[in-house]
Amino acid sequence: MTDSVYRNQAEIERSSSEASKIVLAPFGASRFDRYMDPPADTIYPLEYAFYLLGDVHGKAVLDLGCGTGENTVALLKRGARVRAMDISPDLIAIAEKRLHEVNIEATLAVGDAYNTGLASESVDIVFCIALIHHLDLALVRDEMLRVLRRGGTVVLKEPIRFSGLYNRARGLLPEQDDVSDYEHPLTREEFRLFTQPFKMEGIRYFRLPFVPLASRLLPSRSDAAWRASDWAVKNLPFLERYASGVVVKLIKG
C-alpha cells in the first residue's frame, strides 16, 4: 500500500474511536452566533477562520474534513452551498444526525481528501479546520488547487510547532492516546510547502503554550489566558514562533 493509503486507514481508525465517545447533545441556534459575523480582532482561532470567509452567501464551499458537522451547520447558516466531506463513515453519520437535528440540509459524503471526486474548478472556498496535519501535504494541496476556481480560497486553521526548542520540550511529554502515527503539528518547512503555490492573506498566530495549562488549572480564567496570549503575539512578534496554531486565507492565482 502507498503511504497515503496507510495515512487514510490510520485516520479512519482514529476517527472511529473518536466517534464512539461522542454523545450528540441537543443545542440551540445561539451556539453558532459567534461564527455568524465575528470581528477581525477576535482572540479565538476558529472565530477568526469564520471571519476570513467573508461573504459566502450562494458560494460553493467544501467543508473538507468536516468531522461531526458543527462547522457545516455554521457555514449553512451563513448562506453557503456546502458539500461536507470526511474520510470517516462514523463521523459522517454523526454529522447527518446533527444536520437533521437543526433541520437544515447539505451534501454529505464519505470521501478522500486526496481524491475528492469533485469536478475541477468547481469550488469557491475550501474550509479546512485541523485536517492537513494528518495528511500528505503535497497530495492534499494539489487536490485543493484542482477543485478550486481561479481566485478561489482556502481558509486554513492548523496546529503548528515552529520552534525547535518548543518541539523538543513537547517531545518529552507522552503522546495522547487518540493521536495517529502520522499526525503532528506542522513545522515551518511543512507550512511553507503547503502554502507556496497560493497568495497568503490575513495570517495570524494563536495560543502560546501557557494557554492550555492556564485553562486546565484555572478554567474560570481561560478567557484571560487567551487574551494575554493574543496581546503577547501581537505586541511581541518574536513570540510567533512559540504559537501553537495558525489561521490563514490562501488564494489560488
In whole angstroms, give the CA distance from residue 218 to residue 199: 40
Report if residue 231 sits inside a domain: no
Q: What is the pLDDT of residues 58-67, one digit of tens each?
A: 999 999 999 9
CATH code of 88's domain: 3.40.50.150
Element housing 50 (H / E): helix 45-53
Report if residue 162 sits inside a domain: yes
Strand 245-251 versus strand 199-206 pairing type: antiparallel
| 85-111 core/surface letters (b: 16 or more CB in 10 A; e: else) | bbbbebbbebbeebbeebeeebebeeb
Report if residue 69 sits inside a domain: yes
Q: Please give the sequence-ordered ranges of beta strands (E in DSSP) within the chain, or none if there are none.
A: 60-64, 81-86, 107-110, 123-129, 148-159, 199-206, 245-251
| Three-state secondary structure call for residue 150 | strand
pLDDT for 101 equals: 86
Q: What is the pLDDT of residues 175-229, one digit of tens each?
A: 455 555 667 899 999 999 999 999 999 999 999 999 998 989 999 999 999 999 9
Report if residue 229 sits inside a domain: no
Which domain covers residue 26, as residue numbers? Answer: 3-208+245-251
Report if residue 176 sits inside a domain: yes
Q: How many domains does the chain have?
A: 1
| C-alpha cell read off for 82 | 456546502
Cut 0.85: pTM above it: yes
pLDDT for 105 equals: 85
Report if residue 83 sits inside a domain: yes
| Three-state secondary structure call for residue 129 | strand
Report if residue 111 sits inside a domain: yes
Report if residue 24 sits inside a domain: yes
99 HSE (CA, 13 A, CB side): 25
